[in-house]
Chain A
């Protein structure tokens, strides 16, 4: 008897595929795998696009020597006159040499979950956001010798290799340590898995410290930071789509030093007007977040409604929409001790949610049975 080579190869391939978790639709790892692959493709496309445009720019420059009437606009490579790390500049101009080391880890707060700090450049994405900014966490462990004076951490929101938006804030050039942050800011004994690395803190008030878990399971201290989605050309919020975020340090005269990233971030549509096909009897004046209606059920005099919607900030947006319609109180904190952030500090808000005429409505981030991000509303009847 003999071995059927074709069958043996097929069996070998089937067995290898079956034992591999790659692409298994039943595991959550596949979601991460696809996200990583998507980020890698985007980065390569960005580099290829920038490279192609750079070649085009070189060609345009060469032609311009003999034909100065030709345009100098080489978009989408960006404005060739823009300084590195500024609006409309190309990401290929960002400094990344050995004299500009920049250690930045960036993560995001999931929809109600534990913040995750991903190693710089690992291709992890920063989630999907519907509002005008993303709630990030940041750890800066190394900065270039940027000279004396004020130093700012600058986030660049880019697309096709061009800076479309930027956010920045003051950064201390004097490092502290993880232990010090834990003792003085968090009053927490150092967990065994925390690495004691130098940390350059953001100086502005409001960047609260927290412990964040890296993708490798090691815990770090990190600060909250907002990544704005306002276009730097003054056209308002950036259009929906996928963007790449870079971090850089701006020295006292505004020159970019070092760079880290990119991380992918998705800006989602934030259409205000979406009508849901709700059952009869559901209160029409309760504002609900746009998205796909998953369920709407009546329980006694109350309701629960689930709407699938993608943003990491979906609970915040849903609560903000409710707060706009909420009943107002006479002062801060006079309602069960719960207070919404400004400008809604006088909105009546309790453990049952935002107080609306006739209803208390609580909006919470959740996921559907299929794992799709969602918001679950709980409506409690008020007299």
Chain B
């Protein structure tokens, strides 16, 4: 096999499920997440960006996942018109890393359903900021948005999530070394 084939094979085997997990946070659908990962892998390796080491190739694939997801925004826009039809659970009992399996599953479902309420770009901002641990400036760069727009998306998204999940810990305490912008200030409803 050629170098890119080896890299593709290793990337799929060692990081495939992590990439699907990342894509799932964006799409909220397992099948769609797998398709998104496959499209991103093809996109990355077609452009010759996958011939380096796995970590480097994975970064390109994650970027391609994000771009492909955001590019599909318009196709998914109709969701905004029907999302109010989605059933939203009552705010779930809070839990944390040491919680038992049942609360974890409960929270996971609640977060999953709350994420589904976010428009794609708000959702992408939340995932990049709180899952990929990017700074606001990095999120803006990744999504080709202004920093102000990212702040607004994060603020709106956080407010939506808090409506359904209760207070969110950790949204304002990102590591200082990663933060080059003022962190999100959640606009509270009055």
Chain A positions within 8 Å of B, measured between CB atoms, are 1-20, 22-25, 30, 33-34, 37-38, 40-41, 44-45, 48, 242
Contacts and interface: CB of A to CB of B under 8 A. Distances in A.
Contacts of A12: 21, 24-25, 108, 111-112, 115
Nearest to A48: B46
A22 B17 contact: yes
B13 A20 contact: no
Interface string B32-45: 01100110011001
Interface stretch (B68-76, B81-89, B140-148, B168-176): B168-176
Interface in B39-69: 41-42, 45-46
A14 B131 CA distance: 11
Nearest to A1: B94
Contacts of B115: 12
B169 A3 contact: yes
A23 B15 contact: yes
Contacts of B127: 9
A20 B4 CA distance: 24
A11 B161 contact: no
B18 A13 contact: yes
Nearest to B38: A37
Contacts of B19: 17, 22-23
Contacts of B130: 5-6, 9
B160 to A, nearest CB: 12
Interface string B18-33: 1111101100001001
Nearest to A19: B30
B183 interface: no
Nearest to B96: A4
> Quick one: which of A8, A10, A13 has the most chain B CB within 10 A?
A8
Contact of B9 (A20, A34, A40): A34
A5 B160 CA distance: 13
A16 B41 CA distance: 18
Contacts of B165: 3
A12 to B, nearest CB: 5
Given A1-B96, A12-B21, 7 more contacts: A3-B95, A3-B110, A13-B18, A16-B24, A20-B20, A34-B12, A38-B5
